[in-house]
């Protein structure tokens, strides 16, 4: 599964995940049924799912690199990426709807989604919101609120 996720073949990766989760492969307590090291399947399976949703290598962070058709809508919060980044992302109808990249060290960050690339200059502790086009959304316009106060004696 992990290999197919790394190769960005989502359907093949998902097929391997469904094999891993069959009753003859995984016990009811979710331990892998493959002796002598049953925990290998558990750690490998979790790593494979993470690799399907987020990949980070020396060249940056890739969002949803191997999203299978079986997961058309979803979100994930908190996976870590190389360079000390924490990522939240969401998708609907097989497409990214938005992401938040939190810099834990203030390093530069390159984010990729399909054919789009965003280069971020980050500061430690700050989140950086990205839309489906990997553009930073404009902050909402704030309206100035005024209070008109009058008293009965002013009339």
CA 53 – CA 68 distance, rounded (Å): 9
Q: Select 2-131's CATH number: 1.10.10.10, 2.60.40.1180, 3.40.605.10, 2.60.120.20.
A: 2.60.40.1180
CA 42 – CA 21 distance, rounded (Å): 10
pLDDT digits (tens, 9 = 90+) for 21-42: 888 888 888 778 877 666 777 7
Domain map (residue ranges) of the chain: 2-131
Q: pLDDT tens string for the chain (155 positions)?
A: 899 999 999 999 999 999 888 888 888 887 788 776 667 777 888 899 999 999 998 789 999 999 999 999 999 999 999 999 999 999 999 999 999 999 999 999 999 999 999 999 999 999 999 999 999 987 666 655 665 665 665 55
């Amino acid at each position: 599964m992990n290999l197919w996720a790394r190769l960005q073949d989502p359907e093949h990766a998902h097929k391997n995940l469904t094999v891993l989760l069959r009753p003859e492969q995984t016990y009811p307590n979710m331990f892998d049924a493959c002796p002598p090291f049953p925990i290998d399947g558990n750690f490998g399976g979790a790593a494979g799912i993470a690799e399907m949703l987020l990949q980070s290598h020396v060249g940056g962070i890739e969002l949803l690199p191997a999203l299978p058709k079986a997961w058309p809508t979803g979100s994930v919060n908190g996976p870590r990426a190389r360079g000390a980044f924490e990522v939240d992302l969401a998708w609907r109808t097989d497409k990214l709807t938005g992401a938040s990249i939190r810099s834990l060290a203030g390093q530069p960050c390159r984010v990729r989604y399909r054919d789009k690339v965003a280069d971020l200059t980050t500061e430690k502790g700050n989140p950086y919101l990205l839309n489906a086009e990997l553009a930073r959304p404009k902050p909402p316009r704030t309206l100035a609120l005024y209070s008109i106060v009058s008293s009965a004696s002013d009339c």
